Structure 1
Amino acid sequence: MTAERAWWKEAVVYQIYPQSFNDSDGDGVGDLQGIIERLDYVADLGVDVIWLNPVYQSPQVDNGYDISDYRAIHEAYGTMADWEELLDEIHARDMRLVMDLVVNHTSDDHEWFQRSRRDEDGYRDYYIWREGDTDEDGEPVPPNNWTTGFGGSAWTDDEQVGTQYLHLFHERQPDLNWENAEVRSDIYEMIDWWLAKGIDGFRMDVINLISKPEGLPDGDPDKGWVGIEHFADGPRAQEFLEEMAAETFDNYDSMTVGECVDIDVDTAGDYVSADGPLDMVFHFEHMLLDQQEGWWTIEDWSLPELKSVMAEWQTDLDGWNTVYLGNHDQPRIVSRFGDDGEYREESAKLLATFLLTHQGTPFLFQGDEIGMTNCPWESIDEMRDADATNRVRLALESGDIEDYDEAREVVEFRSRDNARTPMQWNDSRNAGFTDGDPWIQVNPNYEDVNVAAAEAAEDSILSYYRDLIDLRSDLDVLVYGEYELLLPDHETVYAYRRTLDDPAVDVDDVLIVLNISPTATRVSVPVEAEATPLFGNELDTATESGSHDVTDAALQPYEARLYELSEQQ
């Protein structure tokens, strides 16, 4: 049975982090004109949608996720005229634009918060203010024990007001009070304003955190994020999102994807089912396999664990999937899930195959297509990530660590700055990103890992992405096909089948086999069918003809293979 068709199901999304993509004016910060200069490159990838990280006016405490004016463009990125030109140029290339929507919180520079501080015209109730106790020294005690996503208390005492406000992230990102109907009305008006300007949808930041329970009860102190059981998928989250959709998205042919913290597959179905308010959600189950004990621990995970999580979301979700392995908040995918040393190219191609052949809309992050890697951070002073730097500061203050070197291994692996180093365009100074001094350091491997080198190479990661995106656009089975996991317990081989019950398509049965290992292996794949190579990251695999016996397949390190399956003769 073919799923109901939609353009956003068939799309491939390319995420642009504007601060680090391309700088057109030499000030060291990427900008909107810089993106326009590189749009042909993005279009040539074959992608359909650009997801643009926040470009709104912001003091940049959290790299733009602290918005001070939703209807203005951050000065370093350009002007509203630049943004309008960008939208026109994207649409002229038959691509679409999805903006970031950040409405769980604002910047403390936002006019709403400034008026809330002054208790002006009813604005006090736009945010969550509470009186706390005082300790024996007269110091304020938080109203509850909730912590932020960056570590530390979720409450800050405001001396101007004389009480405390809630912030689930940085103290300069106060949470909006969604119980206030005026807040919701202002947000919906803003959303509609952007949609009317012609954008094609929103990626919605931590959207399932918007509803907080009455009384703001204490959370379980043993949880890594204290209070999360109360504010993730809170009591009115579904109601608020349904109201938002009715007031805004449902009136447009738009795409909506919600970033949802601590969500399971059943709850996600409430948001993305046929009657749900969202088209897709980002979940984090597969992204947390290496940090079950918290941010400070890098844990080993097994391939069967990853398969199990992916299979659950592929088969049990009542709605449409997203498929992603990295973004602006995560380490580089080849450093986390592949091998960024000897097998960087092979593992980058394998991860491309993973992303573009699972069921769901694939999300690629800038630089994935050339195999960009994590960056060595020799000092915390080199870093800009509010999350990582705050955690290190708190650990130093508490005495949990004596210096940065003690924490370096974890911080280098976890820091969101890994994804935020400048895009590596060529081997010139600053990787061709800027003529000035970049706002954050360039990864020192840019002389070898860059777009120009990839364009010149015969069999590059970049060409592999382009060819595989083309293949996905040609084969409905890779978009709408059912998913069947094979070899669930195999420790190094990830195999699955995509099948589509549609007589109108030429290819309706595809086998994907991935050797996620630096070791060559032989594997017997349990399929009774003729297997003809469709695609792979070994040169001969893509060009071989004739059928193959996949009951005894020999796989090279980090080799990916796609086969068309047909009935045995």
Structure 2
Amino acid sequence: MNLGLLFLVFAAAYAADDLPWWKTEVFYQIYPRSFKDSNKDGIGDLQGITDNVDYLKSLGIGAIWLSPIYASPNADYGYDVSDYKNINKEYGDMDSFKKLMTKLNDKKIKLIMDFIPNHTSEKHPWFLQSKNRTAGYEDYYIWKDGVGVKKSPPTNWVKQLSMDGSSAWQWCEERNQYYYHVFSPSQPDLNYSNPKVLEEMKGVMDFWLHEGVSGFRMDAVPYLVETDFKDENKICSDPIYDCLNHTYTKDTESTHAILHEFTQHLEKYKEDNNLTTLVLEATSPMDQIVKYYDNDTIPFNFNLMGLKENSSAGEFVNQIKSWIDGVTDERWSNWFTGNHDSQRAASRFDRDLTDALNMIIMLLPGTPFTYYGEEIAMKDVELKNFTDIRMKSRTPFQWDGTPHAGELAL
């Protein structure tokens, strides 16, 4: 494999002083629940991160991507937000966050936060008011009447990750209507055809930028805006999400328009010499991915995620070349081998190949992202009583070799 990749592994000759910070740093993703527990309650927290900033600095990283720390009922471990301007009490409070920012600033490490604009928690005050038709909040979410006497769902849309054809519409007795959720019913989608929603979410950005963060990783970008409410054509017979042609619900032109509004909003911070970045999670085909490059945003590169130990050298080369060729020279690349939603690299490759791949993503032209624990080749852990397979890669950082890494228990 190494010989097959040799011609691709090089350090790009850029003048670092002329590049924005996010093009010159290594990003390190932290899943706060599992990184470091400072108070022995079995849950990682902000103080645990603060206490280990020196360790992070020793790795040579220049930026942290922090998975959600917002107030949340944890139906999806923070990706169901009930208060965008407050901290999940399990992780600390705003004072804890300020202490973390102070320590990071002292060590010249920047922080970007997960930003979840597509949906909120069903416990969010906006949703509670919307389902009760409170004036001003009636249209913060996507509400539709049922169809016919039986009040069937408005369209045939299926929720993401559904394997049984579960509808993306949930009936709400209080409002006597359906609401749309591309993910779980506990995560109702926001309605970006309502200008107030966009302004609310810009306000969330402002709040955290004023607290010192340097940018955001924007979650679930392709699903931001639905353009019409019609049935989508089936492209296969299975009752799953991927068997629908998502003409109206994914990668729409209206989504690009809203994304442009967000990036334009960040421009004022760049003008004040407080350069920000917006990293996008967009699990879309390459022809759609390239459309997400806008105003120095970085759509995530998932090309290396499907490779395994039995993948050939040619497959490695092809995945790297397809991204470089697809984004073209004027667009900035990025590379990573694992994250909180995927199998860890060390569970897909042996130790030597894991180390080699970590080296390769540091040398390829673009910005490297690494997931906590990859530096010590952490593997997925088989968990009992967890139906969410993603939790295998979210287990406690192995500060030592004792059970639960010496301190944490999921």
TM-score band, normalised by shorter chain: 0.7 to 0.9
Compared CA separation, residues 157 and 7, structure 1 to 2 (3 A):
same
- 1:368 aligned to 2:381? no
Q: CA deviation at 1:18?
A: 0.2
Structure 2 Cα separation of the partners of residues 180 and 141 of structure 1:
25
Cα 1:52–1:356, aligned 2, differ >3 Å: closer, same or farther?
same
- Which secondary structure does the structure 1 equivalent of 2:139 belong to? helix
Among candidates 322, 327, 337, match of residue 334 of structure 2: 322
Q: Of the candidates 393, 404, 407, which is equivalent to residue 430 of structure 1?
A: 404
CA contact (8 A) 1:335 1:373 kept: yes
> Does residue 247 of structure 2 align to residue 256 of structure 1?
no
Contact preservation (8 Å) 2:278, 2:296: yes
Residue 244 of structure 1: which of 239, 249, 262 is its match? 262
Q: How far apart are the structure 1 equivalents of 2:250 and 2:269? A: 27
Larger Rg over CA atoms: 1
**1:150 corresponds to which residue?**
161
| Cα distance between partner residues in 2 of 1:84 and 1:169 | 32
Structure 2 residue aligned with 1:457: none
SS class of match (2:381): coil
Q: Could you tell me which residue of structure 2 aligns to residue 419 of structure 1?
A: 393
What is the CA-CA distance between 1:228 and the residue it aligns to?
Answer: 3.3
Instruction: State the alpha-carbon separation in 2 of the partners of residues 88 and 363 from structure 1.
Output: 23
Taking a change above 3 Å as real, the CA distance of residues 283 and 225 of structure 1, as seen in their structure-2 partners, is farther
Q: Tell me which amino acid in the other structure corresponds to 2:284.
A: D
For each residue in 1:411-464, what CA deviation from the matched residue of structure 2 results, as whole angstroms up to 9, or x when unmatched?
xxxx21121011110123421233xxx1x2xxxxxxxxxxxxxxxxxxxxxxxx
Going from structure 1 to structure 2, the CA distance change for 1:225 and 1:49 (only over 3 Å counts) comes to: farther
Pairwise mapping of residues 50-449 of structure 1 onto structure 2 (< 5 A)? 50-133=64-147, 138=150, 140-151=151-162, 152-222=166-236, 224=242, 226-252=244-270, 253-264=275-286, 266-272=287-293, 276-288=294-306, 302-318=312-328, 319-336=331-348, 338-339=349-350, 344=351, 346-377=352-383, 379=384, 381=385, 383=386, 385=388, 415-434=389-408, 438=409, 440=410
Distance in 2, matches of 1:366 and 1:164, equals 39
**Structure 1 residues 300, 227: closer, same or farther in 2, change over 3 A?**
farther
Q: CA deviation at 1:271?
A: 2.7
Residues 277/154 of structure 1: CA separation in 2 closer, same or farther (3 Å cut): farther
Is the Cα contact below 8 Å between 1:56 and 1:74 reproduced in 2? yes
What is the match of residue 22 of structure 1? 36
How far residue 162 of structure 1 moved from its aligned partner, in angstroms, is: 1.4
**How far 1:170 sits from its partner (Å)?**
1.0
Q: Deviations over 1:120-154 (max 9, x none)?
A: 1131211111123258xx4x422222222231221
Shift of 1:208: 2.4
Kept in 2, the 8 Å contact 1:145–1:219? The answer is: no
Between the aligned partners of 1:130 and 1:186, the Cα distance in structure 2 is: 22
CA distance in structure 2 between the partners assigned to 1:175 and 1:432 by the alignment: 39
Aligned equivalents of 1:110, 1:421: Cα separation in 2: 28
Describe the superposition over 1:335-384 as per-residue Cα deviations: whole angstroms up to 9, x where unpaired.
Answer: 12x12xxxx2x12211211221222110000000001112224x4x1x16
1:215 Cα deviation from its structure 2 partner: 2.6
Structure 1 residue 95, shift from structure 2 partner: 0.4
1:150 and 1:170 in contact (8 A); partners too: no
Alpha-carbon contact 2:215-2:278 (below 8 Å) kept: yes
Give the alignment's Cα RMSD to 1 decimal. 2.2
For the 8 Å contact 1:334–1:351, the answer to whether it is kept is no
1:154–1:221 Cα change, 3 Å: farther
**2:263·2:278 contact (CA, 8 Å) conserved in 1?**
no
Q: Give the aligned partner of residue 411 of structure 1.
A: none
Structure 2 residues not aligned, in runs of 5+ = 1-12
Q: 1:216 to 1:309 in 2, by over 3 A?
A: farther
5+ residue gaps, structure 1:
291-298, 386-414, 441-569
SS of the counterpart of 1:75?
Answer: coil
For 1:6 and 1:429, how far apart are their aligned partners in 2? 42
Distance in 1 of aligned mates of 2:381 and 2:291: 39
Residues 213/102 of structure 1: CA separation in 2 closer, same or farther (3 Å cut): same
SS at match of 1:177: coil
Contact kept? 2:222, 2:284, Cα under 8 Å: no
1:100 and 1:205 in contact (8 A); partners too: yes
Provide Cα deviations, 1:172-201, integer angstroms capped at 9, x if missing partner: 000001111110011111111211221110
CA distance in 1, matches of 2:364, 2:306: 19
Check the 8 A contact 1:322/1:362 in 2, yes or no.
yes
- Tell me, in whole angstroms, the C-alpha distance in 2 between the residues paired with 1:325 and 1:22: 22
Relative to structure 1, is the Cα distance of residues 219 and 132 closer, same or farther in structure 2, using a 3 angstrom cutoff? farther
Provide the secondary structure at the position in 2 that maps to 1:308. Answer: helix
Q: Which aligned pairs between 1:551-562 and structure 2 lie closer than 5 A?
A: none
CA deviations over 1:473-529 (Å, ceiling 9, x no partner):
xxxxxxxxxxxxxxxxxxxxxxxxxxxxxxxxxxxxxxxxxxxxxxxxxxxxxxxxx
Please give the secondary structure, in 2, of the residue aligned with 1:335.
Answer: helix
Return the offset for 1:221: 4.9
In structure 2, the residue corresponding to 1:76 is in which secondary structure? Answer: coil
Alpha-carbon spacing, 1:176–1:38, altered in 2? closer, same or farther (3 Å): same
Deviates more, 1:104-113 or 1:218-227: 218-227
Are 1:219 and 1:230, in contact at CA under 8 Å, matched by a contact in 2?
no
CA distance in 2: counterparts of 1:300 and 1:163, whole angstroms: 50
Measured in 1, the distance between the counterparts of 2:52 and 2:406 equals: 12
Deviation of the 1:38 alpha carbon: 1.3
> Would you say how many aligned residue pairs link Structure 1 and Structure 2?
383
CA contact (8 A) 1:211 1:231 kept: yes
Kept in 2: contact 1:241–1:277 (CA 8 A) = no
